[in-house]
């Protein structure tokens, strides 16, 4: 059944289209668990995870990891599989690669494309000379659509780029076949499309195709995938291929919806998160105040219309130094503010989760995951929170590498865990390759990463320059356009209020975020959307018709290079849409089953183009609308599909706005008050007669 479904997706003829065909979202990545880079167990240190997986998030796909040093599952039984992918660091990654090659061959027979990256990993070490390719591995490569020979020794006079697809190759760095002493020797078999062709004049085979779409997948081999210079600090990376163009073509993503966790109501999300470190540090700004109090007075009280997700370390309160009435009162004031989402940052702040190394020394206490995760949250609730508030977020500490059991412990306790990952993209780290993905897998659990680094990574691990966090703005800009890869995560520790320069830098980032067309959300709201990203099922229900099942907290799907728009009458659970350069963002309601039908025109009636608030209970009646809104600050929204020149009234909680639709059928309205993420308010839009 799955072979037939994949054949339909790849354009093969079928006698009759089924009512609904699930579009596979999982890409299975093979790796060697017994030879992880740096000796770090798991997938988090793999090149694919640290350099490329962010692009699979952007494509709406889910990376799952298969340890090829253990028995591999039957490829035909892989759930919701779209492709298999390999990116090994060595040409000979296995003592005996034949079982892996046979498995890859079976996967292609089952209809799964194979994406071959970096080095093959499938050669067999020889006593002398370059590692050879065993017959089983040669058969798998031919099935993929290529024949590989030993790499060709080259110099600047013997090799040149004969042809390159400019839409794919030369993204952050032009291909340079002479920068290494040898290059891959690849013959592309019929049925493939060359994306990069090298020409030789040394008397051997005249051509090599190291980057190509093949008849059963794709390949991009070193050094034409990702340039890496590990001899400098920081290590230098540049993408030679455009990852979005290459992976999108290799995985046949054209015309398909991408679940998207960066956007809500047509706007990029922004969150403001603070880890608990430094709360009780004396501030240099005022030696009489804790840094937590400086943060309260200079940030929280002055920004009542911004949502802050703040965490505290509960083990502080086991120490006599922090049991003083002023310390307890300060903690209570901070966590109970209406613009604060309370979170826990552990009990004794584990620095290394695997070894139990702790940051806070508490008499007679040794690392206990239950105490660190569940009990720390409940302690904060019991000691400091009003009955209307609870701790729902756990911000991972230290190396941010909790185990599978740690992650499941937080999940069972109803805590949304976040942190780790992150990334930078600026003048010092000038490549998309420095960005981490949305999450990592640990056994049966999944950890949600922070979308960006905190100020520690901009200040030399808090040794200076203390104004360094202002450079985070450049990362936010570059990850928002021309491709929106990440939400904005304004993320610091309380010790940023310890230094004048650090606090000023933080305020500069806050001011920048307030000047942008963003939608402010709790960190927990983003985490719920990111969690549901991995749960959404996408089904094709007909030509240009897609059913989205599950994931009610994920409210956006995106189409890239899509000329059409949602047919609002034929679609279900669609609030509206917005075009950004190269992308169509479709806004979804809160139901667990939505359907997007694409057409040339949206049809009559109003729709939501964008807003800085979340929308639920959406209903259209003629030219009017009724919905519930919930957001922060002055409410701003744009409606489209209205009758040009006609007047409209927007009403909400005793406030109203009136205006006239422009010649393009749009109005942009604003209301002076917001819910501050409290109870959603009924809002109506009516045409004036």
The pLDDT, as a whole number, for residue 132 is: 86
Structure tokens at 10: 């790849």
- CA-to-CA distance for 434 and 443, rounded, in angstroms? 25
For 480-531, the pLDDT digits (tens) are 999 999 999 999 999 999 999 999 999 999 999 999 999 999 999 999 999 9
The pLDDT, as a whole number, for residue 447 is: 98
Q: List the CATH code of the domain at 267-529.
A: 3.20.20.370
Beta bridge partners of residue 564, listed in sequence order: none
For 553-574, the pLDDT digits (tens) are 999 999 999 999 999 999 999 9
Those residues whose C-beta lies under 8 Å from the C-beta of residue 32, and which sit 6 or more positions away, are: 67, 68, 69, 88, 93, 94
Strand, coil or helix: 254: coil
- CA-to-CA distance for 118 and 104, rounded, in angstroms? 16
pLDDT-derived band at 40, boundaries 50, 70, 90: low
Q: Are 348 and 319 in contact (CB under 8 A)?
A: no
Which helix (H) or strand (E) segment holds residue 610: the answer is: strand 607-611
Strand, coil or helix: 248: helix
- CA-to-CA distance for 598 and 580, rounded, in angstroms? 17
DSSP code of residue 152 = E
Q: Are 120 and 148 in contact (CB under 8 A)?
A: yes
The pLDDT, as a whole number, for residue 127 is: 64
Those residues whose C-beta lies under 8 Å from the C-beta of residue 349, and which sit 6 or more positions away, are: 276, 277, 313, 315, 358, 359, 360, 397, 398
Question: What is the mean pLDDT of the segment spanning 79-108?
Answer: 94
36-40, 156-160, 471-475: range with lowest mean pLDDT = 36-40
For 110-121, the pLDDT digits (tens) are 999 999 999 999
The pLDDT, as a whole number, for residue 545 is: 97
Question: In terms of Cα–Cα distance, which of 522, 75, 598 is closest to 269?
Answer: 522
Question: What is the mean pLDDT of the segment spanning 357-386?
Answer: 97
Strand, coil or helix: 123: coil
pLDDT-derived band at 179, boundaries 50, 70, 90: confident
Question: In terms of Cα–Cα distance, which of 478, 480, 477, 473 is closest to 506?
Answer: 473
The pLDDT, as a whole number, for residue 307 is: 97
* Other C-beta atoms lying within 10 Å of the C-beta of residue 322: 18
The pLDDT, as a whole number, for residue 234 is: 86
* Other C-beta atoms lying within 10 Å of the C-beta of residue 230: 9
Question: What is the mean pLDDT of the segment spanning 674-680?
Answer: 83
- Please measure the distance between the N-terminal and C-terminal CA atoms of the chain and give it in whole angstroms: 56
Q: Is the pLDDT of residue 161 over 90?
A: yes
71-80, 386-395, 668-677: range with lowest mean pLDDT = 668-677
- Put simply, whether the predicted model's pTM sits higher than 0.85 gets the answer yes
- CA-to-CA distance for 169 and 191, rounded, in angstroms? 20
More confident of the two residues 127 and 540: 540
Indicate the domain borders of the chain.
21-254, 267-529, 535-687
The pLDDT, as a whole number, for residue 318 is: 94
Residue located via tokens 């003048």 = 427
- CA-to-CA distance for 68 and 88, rounded, in angstroms? 11
The pLDDT, as a whole number, for residue 6 is: 41
3-state secondary structure string across 255-283 = CCCEECCCEECCEEEEEEEEECCCCCCEC
Percent over 90 (pLDDT), the chain: 88
Which helix (H) or strand (E) segment holds residue 525: the answer is: helix 523-533
Beta bridge partners of residue 441, listed in sequence order: 446
404-408, 502-506, 653-657: range with lowest mean pLDDT = 653-657
Q: Is the pLDDT of residue 397 over 80?
A: yes
Q: Are 207 and 197 in contact (CB under 8 A)?
A: yes
The pLDDT, as a whole number, for residue 324 is: 92
b/e map of 597-618 (b: 16 or more CB within 10 Å)?
A: bbeeebeeebbbbbbbbbbeeb
For 525-552, the pLDDT digits (tens) are 999 999 999 999 999 999 999 999 999 9
Domain range 21-254, its CATH number among 1.25.40, 3.40.50, 3.30.810, 1.10.3470: 3.40.50
Q: Is the pLDDT of residue 289 over 60?
A: yes
Question: What is the mean pLDDT of the segment spanning 71-87?
Answer: 93
The pLDDT, as a whole number, for residue 14 is: 44
Those residues whose C-beta lies under 8 Å from the C-beta of residue 504, and which sit 6 or more positions away, are: 467
The pLDDT, as a whole number, for residue 37 is: 64
DSSP code of residue 131 = P
Percent over 70 (pLDDT), the chain: 96
The pLDDT, as a whole number, for residue 510 is: 98
Strand, coil or helix: 450: strand
DSSP code of residue 386 = -
Q: Is the pLDDT of residue 56 over 90?
A: yes
Q: Is the pLDDT of residue 1 over 60?
A: no
Q: Are 562 and 598 in contact (CB under 8 A)?
A: yes
The pLDDT, as a whole number, for residue 41 is: 63
Question: In terms of Cα–Cα distance, which of 383, 296, 400 is closest to 349?
Answer: 400
Q: Are 89 and 47 in contact (CB under 8 A)?
A: yes
- CA-to-CA distance for 418 and 397, rounded, in angstroms? 10
Angstrom distances, CA of residue 156 to CA of 162, 187, 229: 14, 21, 19
Residue located via tokens 């992150």 = 422
The pLDDT, as a whole number, for residue 9 is: 40
Strand, coil or helix: 195: strand
Q: Is the pLDDT of residue 627 over 90?
A: yes
Structure tokens at 166: 């400019």
C-alpha dihedral, 483 to 486 to 490 to 495, nearest 10°: -120
What is the CA 424 to chain-centroid distance, rounded?
13
For 2-21, the pLDDT digits (tens) are 444 444 344 444 445 458 99
Question: What is the mean pLDDT of the segment spanning 303-321?
Answer: 96
Question: In terms of Cα–Cα distance, which of 570, 642, 652, 639 is closest to 609?
Answer: 639
């Amino acid at each position: 059944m799955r072979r037939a479904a994949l054949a339909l997706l790849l354009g093969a003829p079928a006698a009759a289209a089924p009512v609904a065909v699930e579009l596979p979202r999982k890409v299975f990545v093979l790796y060697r668990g017994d030879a992880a880079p740096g000796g770090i167990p798991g997938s988090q240190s793999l090149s694919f995870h640290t350099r490329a997986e962010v692009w699979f998030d952007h494509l709406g796909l889910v990376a799952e990891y298969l340890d090829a040093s253990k028995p591999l599952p039957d490829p035909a039984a892989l759930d919701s599989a779209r492709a298999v992918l390999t990116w090994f660091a060595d040409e000979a990654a296995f003592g005996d690669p034949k079982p892996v090659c046979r498995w890859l061959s079976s996967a292609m027979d089952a209809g799964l494309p194979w994406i071959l990256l970096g080095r093959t990993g499938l050669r067999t070490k020889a006593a002398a000379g370059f590692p050879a390719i065993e017959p089983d591995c040669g058969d798998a490569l031919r099935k993929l659509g290529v024949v590989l020979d030993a790499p060709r020794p080259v110099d600047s006079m013997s090799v040149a780029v004969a042809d390159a697809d400019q839409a794919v190759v030369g993204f952050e760095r032009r291909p340079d076949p002479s920068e290494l002493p040898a290059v891959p020797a690849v013959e592309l078999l019929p049925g493939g499309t060359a994306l990069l062709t090298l020409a030789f004049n040394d008397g051997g085979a005249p051509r090599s195709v190291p980057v190509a779409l093949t008849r059963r997948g794709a390949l991009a081999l070193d050094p034409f995938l990702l340039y890496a210079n590990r001899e400098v600090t920081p290590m230098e990376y540049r993408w030679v291929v455009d990852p979005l163009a290459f992976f999108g073509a290799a995985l046949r993503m054209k015309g398909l919806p991408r679940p998207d966790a960066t956007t809500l109501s047509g706007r990029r999300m922004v969150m403001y998160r603070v880890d608990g470190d430094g709360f009780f540090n004396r501030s240099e700004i005022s030696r009489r105040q804790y840094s937590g109090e400086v943060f309260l007075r200079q940030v929280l009280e002055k920004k009542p219309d911004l949502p802050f997700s703040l965490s505290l370390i509960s083990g502080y309160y086991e120490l006599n130094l922090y049991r003083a009435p002023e310390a307890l009162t300060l903690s209570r004031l901070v966590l109970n503010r209406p613009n604060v989402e309370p979170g826990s940052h552990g009990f004794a702040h584990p620095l290394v989760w695997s070894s139990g190394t702790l940051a806070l020394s508490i008499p007679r206490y040794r690392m206990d995951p239950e105490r660190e995760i569940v009990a720390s949250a409940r302690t904060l609730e019991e000691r400091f929170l009003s009955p209307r508030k609870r701790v729902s977020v756990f911000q991972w500490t230290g190396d941010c590498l909790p185990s599978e059991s740690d992650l499941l412990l937080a999940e069972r306790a109803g805590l949304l865990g976040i942190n780790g990952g992150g990334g930078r993209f600026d003048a010092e780290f000038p490549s998309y390759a420095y960005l981490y993905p949305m999450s990592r897998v640990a056994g049966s659990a999944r950890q949600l990463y922070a979308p960006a680094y905190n100020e520690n990574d901009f200040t030399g691990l808090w040794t200076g320059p203390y104004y360094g966090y202002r450079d985070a703005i450049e990362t936010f800009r570059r990850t928002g356009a021309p491709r929106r890869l990440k939400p904005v995560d304004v993320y610091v520790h309380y010790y940023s209020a310890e230094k004048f320069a650090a606090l000023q830098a933080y305020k500069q980032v806050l001011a920048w975020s307030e000047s942008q067309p963003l939608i402010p959300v709790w960190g927990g709201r983003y985490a719920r959307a990111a969690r549901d990203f991995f749960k959404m099922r996408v089904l094709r229900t007909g030509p240009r018709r897609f059913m989205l099942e599950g994931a009610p907290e994920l409210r956006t799907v995106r189409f890239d290079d899509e000329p059409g728009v949602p047919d609002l009458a034929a679609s279900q659970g669609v609030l509206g849409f917005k075009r950004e350069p190269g992308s169509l963002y479709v806004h979804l309601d809160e139901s667990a089953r939505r359907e997007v039908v694409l057409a040339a025109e949206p049809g009559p009636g109003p729709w939501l183009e964008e807003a800085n608030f979340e929308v639920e209970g959406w209903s259209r009646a003629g030219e009017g609308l009724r919905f519930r809104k919930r957001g922060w600050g002055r409410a701003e929204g744009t409606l489209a599909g209205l009758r040009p020149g006609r007047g409209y009234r927007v009403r909400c909680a005793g406030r109203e706005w009136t205006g006239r639709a422009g010649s393009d059928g749009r109005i942009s309205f604003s209301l002076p008050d917001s819910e501050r993420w409290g109870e959603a308010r009924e809002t109506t839009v009516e045409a004036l007669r």
